[in-house]
Homo-oligomer: A and B are copies of this chain.
Amino acid sequence: MIRIGVVGFGYWGPNLVRNFAEAKGARVVRVCDARAERLAIAAKRYPGIEVGQDPMELIHASDVDAVVIATPVSSHFPLALEALRSGKHVLVEKPLASTSEQALRLIDEAERRKLTLLVDHTFVYTGAVRQIRERVDSGSLGDIYYYDSVRVNLGLFQHDMNVLWDLAVHDLSIMDYVLRSRPCAVSATGISHIPGEPENVAYLTLFFETPLIAHVHVNWLAPVKVRRTLIGGASKMIVYDDLEPSEKVKIYDKGITVTNRPEDVYAMLISYRTGDMHAPQLQTVEALETEANHFLGCIEGREVPISGGEAGLQVVSLLEAASSSLKQRGRPVEIKPVMVMA
């Protein structure tokens, strides 16, 4: 029985508590939040769990084996580091840390202590994203030409990070999982509509060594909620709409066929293929349930982290580069290969 302590019972924390509470082989023993009213809710809902306001007390408690961190981003690094130093396994809300340097230090700490460090890249545990990865891996889409995602809605404005760190983080983690290739440069643009606050609208283009382009549009000030990704392959194309109740992933047998023109060897003849559409049935287990069980499996040595420290670092380093480009109106910024000390 792995004993779990959860730091942060705000928006996402309750979902983590619920899933670990119902997971086999785990028990939530402590919940911590600085706000008394959040603790009151936790205590009413889970009479058997010990609640408190001091995260250090939870982290150092001897009845806690693993710490789940669902707090604001700026606190991820100090809390996770302290938890690892106390010998606890750690699951951190996305993004892993505020800087790639911090991320590297967490990875290093976890490796040296042989502890599990997992980042809550929730979407890689959904049936939809796993289905997409399978299709990409099987080669049935052909070479991937582009990845385009729109993730917009009204709220919640964050004060300590721009909209890329809040929303694009999802797309970057999905892309890293699905495409398995890493960008070489990034161009980002965006704007803040509130003086002194971080950018609330942003656009991000990722360049790769191959003829692949990726783009992400994120916005906290949109009148409608959109969660839609287009993935174009040489053979087939995907529309992934996370708000669709049942057919979230649609695979289109569409595309172009390019041949040399008989009369002009330097020009191309492009013909269009349009065929059937197919929406495969998806696994419907809640992503957090899969993730909670995976975290337990990693701790017990049965599984290898899918969204471990390195995946977290990759995302953080892209966000850093993007934020730098954002300040320069889209000037492209190169991405250096991430070095994880082995």
Contacts and interface: CB of A to CB of B under 8 A. Distances in A.
Interface of A: 22, 44, 47-48, 145-146, 148, 150, 152, 154-155, 157, 159, 185, 187, 189-197, 201, 203, 205, 207, 211-213, 215, 217, 219, 221-225, 230, 232, 234, 237-239, 243, 245-247, 250, 252-256, 258, 266-268, 270, 272, 274-281, 325, 328-332
Contact of A330 (B187, B197, B277): B187
B281 A275 contact: yes
Contacts of A146: 191, 201, 219, 221
Contact of A205 (B189, B207, B239): B189
Contacts of A222: 230, 232, 237
A194 B268 CA distance: 8
Contacts of A331: 187, 330-332
B217 A148 contact: yes
A201 B231 CA distance: 12
Contacts of A211: 191-193
A284 to B, nearest CB: 9
A195 B253 CA distance: 23
Given A48-B47, A191-B213, A219 B148 contact: yes
Contacts of A219: 146, 148, 230, 232
A216 to B, nearest CB: 10
A230 B225 contact: no
A256 B145 contact: no
B201 A189 contact: no
Closest 9 pairs (CB-CB, A-B) = A187-B330, A223-B237, A223-B252, A189-B205, A329-B332, A277-B279, A330-B330, A191-B213, A157-B270
Contacts of A246: 224-225, 277
Task: Give the one of A253, A268, A274, A330 with max B CB within 10 A.
Answer: A330
